[in-house]
Amino acid sequence: MNEKKLAQVCKSLGDPTRLKIVNLLRGGTKCACVLLKEFKITQPTLSYHMKYLLAAKIVTCERKGKWCHYSVDESKLSALLSYLSAAPAPKTEADRCAANERK
């Protein structure tokens, strides 16, 4: 996953409600009706949050009748965790010059 897509994932997780939704969905697929009850929010508010999570492709949606059943794409979360836990990039010449100027 490239940095632009990772940034979109981070942005979509930058809201406490969306973080809670993702955490709940990590326990398994949930119907929108379950999310509505769990969070005590309105359907338009849930749709607003799900729009961000779907756009970042963290969450997938499968329609069953009039309800959407949401689940987490664990591969996206794994990619984010791998990126964040990776060793830092090697220092560049500019980094070394800046460090010497501070001494």
CATH number at residue 40: 1.10.10.10
Number of domains in the chain: 1
Is the Cβ–Cβ distance between 35 and 70 less than 8 Å? yes
pLDDT mean across residues, the chain: 86
Alpha-carbon distance of 56 to 44, in angstroms, equals 19
Range of the domain at 62: 3-102
Alpha-carbon distance of 21 to 35, in angstroms, equals 8
* Mean pLDDT of all residues in 17-35: 94
Q: What is the pLDDT of residue 7?
A: 85
pTM: 0.76
Beta carbons within 8 Å of 17's beta carbon, 6+ residues apart:
39, 41, 49
Indicate the DSSP class of residue 63: E
